[in-house]
Amino acid sequence: MEGFAGKVAVVTGAGSGIGQALAIELARSGAKVAISDVDVEGLARTEEQIKAIGAPVKADRLDVSEREAFLAYAEAVNEHFGKVNQIYNNAGIAFSGDVEVSQFKDIERIMDVDFWGVVNGTKAFLPFLIASGDGHVVNISSVFGLFAVPSQSAYNSAKFAVRGFTEALRQEMLLAGHPVKVTTVHPGGIKTAIARNATAAEGLNTAELADRFDKTARTSPRRAARIILGAVRKNKARVLVGADAKILDVIVRLTGSGYQRLIMQTLGRMTPRTTNKE
Ligand SMILES: NC(=O)c1ccc[n+]([C@@H]2O[C@H](COP(=O)([O-])OP(=O)(O)OC[C@H]3O[C@@H](n4cnc5c(N)ncnc54)[C@H](O)[C@@H]3O)[C@@H](O)[C@H]2O)c1
């Protein structure tokens, strides 16, 4: 894949799944990569693979929800490579639980990582992306940023918010004439550790939820990364990853708010849940 030679790309949550695959594909495509994660072991595995490719790599522990650390990290990456062209705000976590039984702290944690992590990364790197003369912000939302699902209110909130934030940013960069492209990514089910790493409201069996996810996720992380990078090269505003994402997007657009009834009749009844009545 061409188009990334000499570019400096930052990938958060690069120790696993989509982030790891993105970092490796970027390195294969000639980019210099700054990778980070809270999982330092996973991060070291990604770093090893990038070194084997022969690409320059800077690996750091970074919690995307820690704003001050993110701001200092952006300075350090710019200092290390001399410029920054792209940020992939990818780090994310999942949580299952109906609103009725979710704790405030569970919802806040999802917003802190999945929404504020994206805002922190975008704001920390934006000045450097503008200064590079050829910048790109790539924010990972989800199909759950296009439609809502029972038990996913926290994750839905964060991913809808990422979509709104990123779509506004794209228009702002164009209106301001800044040399920064902006892409929102909506993956369908990707075969990663996300469900194994997820938490859930009391009474829900996370292993069972993960088993269900593993049976339905169809797209490999490598395929997802290649689709995302293809869209970045074409400066797409929105990228849907996987056939499931494309089908669901069409259903939502065709049915308007009517999709909610369809989801309740299918997914909603299939998904294990717990409420205060049980
Ligand atoms: N897998 C899917 O089906 C799917 C679908 C839609 C969207 N997504 C999104 O894709 C992104 C990547 O997820 P994935 O599927 O590769 O999951 P994953 O669990 O395999 O990888 C996520 C990585 O993010 C890291 N991380 C978690 N919290 C962090 C924090 N506070 N700071 C820094 N790193 C942190 C984890 O340690 C992990 O290495 C997430 O934003 C997720 O919401 C995934």
Q: Is the pLDDT of residue 10 over 50?
A: yes
Which runs of E-coded beta strand occur in the chain? Answer: 8-11, 32-37, 57-61, 86-89, 95-96, 135-140, 180-187, 199-200, 238-241
153-176 vs 117-132: helix axis angle to the nearest 10? 20
pLDDT in tens, 33-72: 999 999 999 999 999 999 999 999 999 999 999 999 999 9
- Residue 206 located in a structural domain: yes
Tokens of 131: 């200064």
- Residue 76 located in a structural domain: yes
Tally of structural domains, the chain:
1
Mean pLDDT on 211-227:
96
Q: Which amino acid is at 169?
A: L
- Residue 2 located in a structural domain: no
Distance 185 CA to ligand 1 centre (A): 13
The confidence score (pLDDT) of residue 266 equals: 86
Q: Which has the higher per-residue pLDDT, 275 or 133?
A: 133
- Residue 130 located in a structural domain: yes
The Cα–Cα gap between 194 and 197 comes to 5
- Residue 83's Cβ-side half-sphere holds a number of Cα atoms within 13 Å equal to 15
Range of the domain at 177: 8-270
- What is the rounded average pLDDT for all residues in the chain? 96
The confidence score (pLDDT) of residue 1 equals: 52
The Cα–Cα gap between 131 and 232 comes to 19
- Residue 3 located in a structural domain: no
- Residue 278 located in a structural domain: no
pTM surpassing 0.85? yes
- Residue 193 located in a structural domain: yes
Distance 92 CA to ligand 1 centre (A): 4
The confidence score (pLDDT) of residue 276 equals: 58
The reply to whether 155 belongs to the active site is yes
| Residues having CB within 6 Å of any atom of ligand 1 | 12-13, 15-19, 37-39, 42, 62-65, 90-93, 113, 117, 140, 142, 187, 189-190, 192-194, 197, 217
The confidence score (pLDDT) of residue 208 equals: 93
> In whole angstroms, how far apart are CA 3 and each of 30, 37, 52, 235?
8, 25, 21, 12
The confidence score (pLDDT) of residue 64 equals: 98
Mean pLDDT on 86-111:
98
Distance 168 CA to ligand 1 centre (A): 23
Distance 193 CA to ligand 1 centre (A): 8
**CATH value at residue 150:** 3.40.50.720
Nearest CA to ligand 1 atom 36: 13
Mean pLDDT on 163-176:
98
Ligand 1 pocket mutation, candidates 24, 43, 93, criterion most atoms within 8 A of CB: 93
Mean pLDDT on 218-244:
98
- Residue 91 located in a structural domain: yes
